[in-house]
A and B are shown apart, each in its own frame.
Chain A
Amino acid sequence: AQSVTQLGSHVSVSEGALVLLRCNYSSSVPPYLFWYVQYPNQGLQLLLKYTSAATLVKGINGFEAEFKKSETSFHLTKPSAHMSDAAEYFCAVRKATGANSKLTFGKGITLSVRP
């Protein structure tokens, strides 16, 4: 079974600083990997996805993530944090592209941005 691990529950950065949110995966087959963001009192929005094409994936709002098979990682980064980036971030893994394949989420990381 596939799973993801997000170390830590809370990350705090200053506005303008680098954002790094870590995600490690475990999967018996090449995975599809996703980062979702959840703003307060809202549903989940897809930030970006890795689907076995380019290992460096660019998403919305200036975020990007790099798939590193040797490290089984898919860390999310943004060069310069903005106050509006404060939210909950979830890493997720999916075994196959079939519509009936489950999406398994990590426990999430809360990002706070200090002025």
Chain B
Amino acid sequence: SAVISQKPSRDICQRGTSLTIQCQVDSQVTMMFWYRQQPGQSLTLIATANQGSEATYESGFVIDKFPISRPNLTFSTLTVSNMSPEDSSIYLCSVGVLREGQGTSLAGELFFGEGSRLTVL
């Protein structure tokens, strides 16, 4: 399995500010995904973070609001820009299959970080 660390684990932010969430994985991974979990809701995929190219965003999410960086195979950041109270959510980083040679096949499951709990006032 992969060990995923997210920072910050929680934060309280003011409206109009931006926050960058970091995701660090203990091994090289092909794909990293960013999910949002709004209060009492399920998980919604924001984007897929591709190493060496721009992130791929899902419908309803745009790069200006949620810029993503993926500088290497073990790290990614998600920024929530110009925050409003509607952005109050848990943001989760997840990773897919390890790169070849890194271990046994994981048959498609994703591993998740503990999440970053964001409250916007």
User: A residues near B, CB below 8 A?
Assistant: 32, 34, 36, 41-46, 49, 51, 90, 94, 96-108
Contacts and interface: CB of A to CB of B under 8 A. Distances in A.
A90 B43 contact: yes
A96 B42 contact: no
A15 B97 CA distance: 37
Contacts of A99: 29-31, 96-97
A101 B94 CA distance: 13
Interface residues of B, number: 25
A51 B4 CA distance: 24
Given A32-B108, A44-B92, A46-B111, A97 B45 contact: no
Given A44-B94, A44-B112, A90-B43, 16 more contacts: A32-B108, A42-B115, A43-B4, A43-B92, A43-B115, A44-B92, A49-B107, A51-B107, A94-B108, A97-B107, A97-B108, A99-B30, A105-B43, A105-B44, A108-B41, A108-B42
Contacts of A96: 108
Interface in B77-111: 92, 94, 96-97, 107-111
Contacts of B96: 99-101
7 contacts: A44-B92, A96-B108, A99-B30, A102-B48, A103-B33, A103-B94, A104-B45
Contacts of A90: 42-43
A105 B36 CA distance: 12
Interface of B: 4, 29-31, 33, 41-45, 48, 92, 94, 96-97, 107-115, 117
Given A44-B92, A90-B42, A108-B42, A100 B31 contact: yes
Contact of A46 (B43, B92, B109): B109
A48 to B, nearest CB: 10
Contacts of A42: 114-115
A104 B44 CA distance: 8
Contacts of A100: 30-31, 48, 96
A49 B113 contact: no
